[in-house]
Amino acid sequence: MRGTPSSDDAASVEGEPAPDSGASDRAPAGSSRDVAYPAELERELAGIVERHLRLRPVRSDDAERLVAFHSRLSPGSIYRRYFAVRPLLTAQEVSHLTQVDYVDRLALVVVDAGAGDAIVAIGRYERIPATTTGEVAFVVRDDFQHLGLGHLLLDQLAQAAWARGLTKFSAVTLRENRGMIAIFEHSGFPVTTSQRDEEYYVSFSIDPAERRHASPALDPSSAE
């Protein structure tokens, strides 16, 4: 969850078609693959708040929206997301966070269509090299927290990751981050946890067959 970007993995978003989904190609991948923007992950979010919210994959033209989103986060939210005081994102970080390959690195954003498509929440995974595990991280704008967007992002990310050959999610969060921990514990996935110092480690299979129940924040009408 610390989400420290590296400089060498900004990926192109153009090129080859998306790979087939399904368990048969669930193999460790060592490098990012270039794929097209996955429009099938877009959702209209009805019934979460009385706003016109949309969920969609992040795009490389989201850089300014991401900077604006970050500028509206409270210091506490930034600290819980990055484990550091980070009032501004560097250009390199913005590039890393908005340029993904949609397979090994995927971010979903929730945008407020009634406010110029302002980003109000982001969830992402990054495949840990040579594994089928994705490390996940989430951040929701303070005025949109506690509305179920965290649950929704985990749910949609897990489905997308499973379709792209990942089998597990892992995360590191702060022990005091009850909201984030509640999302994992109430997700229906078989979560295992451990703690060290102030950090809380979470790991779980994202196999839909192992999920005990759907996300509590989702009903079929809210993501169609």
Ligand X SMILES: CC(C)(COP(=O)(O)OP(=O)(O)OC[C@H]1O[C@@H](n2cnc3c(N)ncnc32)[C@H](O)[C@@H]1OP(=O)(O)O)[C@@H](O)C(=O)NCCC(=O)NCCS
C-alpha–C-alpha distance, residues 210 and 16, integer Å:
32
Residues between 127 and 146 with contacts to ligand X, criterion CB under 6 A: 137-140, 145-146
Rounded to 5 degrees, φ, ψ at 26 are: -85, 75
**Cβ proximity to ligand X, 77 vs 222, nearer residue:** 77
Residues between 64 and 123 with contacts to ligand X, criterion CB under 6 A: 77, 80-81
The HSE-up count of residue 5 (CA atoms within 13 Å, CB side) is 19
**Cβ proximity to ligand X, 137 vs 160, nearer residue:** 137
**Cβ proximity to ligand X, 137 vs 166, nearer residue:** 137
**Cβ proximity to ligand X, 134 vs 148, nearer residue:** 148
**Cβ proximity to ligand X, 20 vs 142, nearer residue:** 142
Residue 7: count of CB within 10 angstroms of its CB = 9
Q: How far is the CB of 91 from ligand X (least distance, A)?
A: 22
Q: Dihedral through CA 157, CA 158, CA 162, CA 164, nearest 10?
A: 10
Contact 162, 154 (CB under 8 A): no
C-alpha–C-alpha distance, residues 93 and 107, integer Å:
14
Q: Which of 60, 177, 193, 222 binds ligand X (CB under 6 A)?
A: 177
Rounded to 5 degrees, φ, ψ at 87 are: -65, -30
According to the binding rule CB under 6 A, does residue 180 interact with ligand X?
yes
Q: Which of 151, 162, 164, 205 binds ligand X (CB under 6 A)?
A: 151
Q: Which residues of this protein are in contact with ligand X, per CB under 6 A? A: 1, 77, 80-81, 137-140, 145-151, 173, 177-180, 182-183, 186, 216-217
